[in-house]
Amino acid sequence: MRNTLVVALSLALSASAAIFPKDTVVKMLDPKGFRKAMKANETSMVAFVAPWCGHCQRMAPEYSKAALGLYPLIPTYAVDCDAEANKRLCSEQGVQGFPTIKLYPRGKQLNPLTYDSGDRTASSFFYWASRRVPNHVKKIGQLNDIQRWAEESAERGLPRALLLTKEKIIPLLWTVLGNKFAGKIELASHRDRKGKSSVALGYEAGEQKSSKVLIYPPGSTTPVRYEGINKLDSLSKFFESVIDGTADLKIVNEEAASEEFVPDEAELEIERKQEAQRIALAHGGFANFIDFEDALKKGHNPHGSQGYPGMLGDLPQKKKKPTGSESIAAEPAVETGDAKEQAAFAASEPAPAATPELLEVPVEEQASEAEPASAPKDEL
């Protein structure tokens, strides 16, 4: 009996997964998987679909492209509501038509948002999700504001992490980490466009895409430079180690510094696909693709590629043996004000209105009425 149930569930998942491309990073969920995903306290996007639904079939390639662009920072899932085991879950999530796309800003801690636009393109899904990650990162504008922030935040007794980045906007990776560790670690970001702030703080200016992470122990105004790899899983592991404030930061940092970056072939393949997909999702501000390619050939990437999935900047170079922890104390200055929490996903522009031909398919629609799936678009 048990084997029969397992086979039936596998067939149901396979039937639903069939509407997505074979190489998709969209992960199918059953009720148990959904509960696990919601416990992660991270922003995720879930598509509630039915394999017979023509609109779902046409949406799937676009949704999969968006998932590729978001991977691994915003996990992207799908639930087959036609499977008997998932029907209760879909009902509990208020699914009344297909497809229904929901964004869960912080797992089960915040109410989900429903995608209410008929524009079901990869770009629309990508920006709708990435702009709605709750913002728990304080933006520090001036070099002289760093020490003031360090002093005031030290009184709250939490570890803090400051990102020195050359990007104009806060990297999505840092926003994702701020959301994930909200209430446990305070995150801030300072734009160090030409590396002058780094030099003033006693560090090297750094390469074009380089970023630095400074860790402030609880109650301290003197940071230690994080020596590990600037990617999602490495930073998450490091943050987990320093959350309670009892870990020896020097030892934890030495362990992080010893991690060697070993590219996974599957991840590298995803990276190669991501770069092409990001160009399609956000054309770098160029109206003409030829101009964009010409910029790339000249060494300028206006898209600002994130590189290896879930990583800040380029692939790390071969590590040198660390000579010891670095620390700095910056100048006191005037505070610029606290960042408002969870403003990103609420303040975004609303999605465009639905067009008549892309309205949801009622749950009652029979499989025989579904329209055939259309091929994925070459361009967005």
CA pair distance 90, 66, nearest whole angstrom: 22
Contacts of 247 (CB under 8 A, 6+ apart): 241
Domains of the chain: 2-133+346-369 (3.40.30.10), 144-262+308-340 (3.40.30), 265-297 (no CATH)
Kindly state the DSSP code that residue 311 receives in the 8-state scheme. Answer: B
In the chain, what is the greatest distance between 2 CA atoms, to the nearest angstrom? Answer: 70
Supply the pLDDT for residue 349. Answer: 39
Q: Which two tokens stand for residue 126?
A: 């990508």
Q: Which helix (H) or strand (E) holds 281?
A: helix 265-281
CA pair distance 63, 77, nearest whole angstrom: 10
Contact 15, 51 (CB under 8 A): yes
Amino acid occupying residue 76: T
Supply the pLDDT for residue 319. Answer: 53
Q: Give the full edge-to-edge strand order of the sheet including 100-108.
A: 27-28, 76-80, 44-49, 100-108, 113-114
Dump strand ranges (E) for 110-177. Answer: 113-114, 137-140, 160-165
CA pair distance 347, 343, nearest whole angstrom: 6
Of the chain, the end-to-end C-alpha distance in Å amounts to 47
Supply the pLDDT for residue 259. Answer: 83
Q: Could you give the 3-state DSSP secondary structure of residue 139?
A: strand
Kindly state the DSSP code that residue 231 receives in the 8-state scheme. Answer: B
Mean pLDDT by 10 residues, the chain (380 residues): 42 57 94 96 96 96 94 96 97 97 96 95 93 97 96 96 94 96 97 94 89 95 94 94 80 83 76 73 50 54 49 59 42 36 37 36 39 30
Supply the pLDDT for residue 297. Answer: 57
Supply the pLDDT for residue 353. Answer: 38
Dump strand ranges (E) for 224-310. Answer: 224-225
Nearest C-alpha neighbor of 175 from the set 260, 270, 106, 247: 106
Only one residue has tokens 């560790």, namely: 181
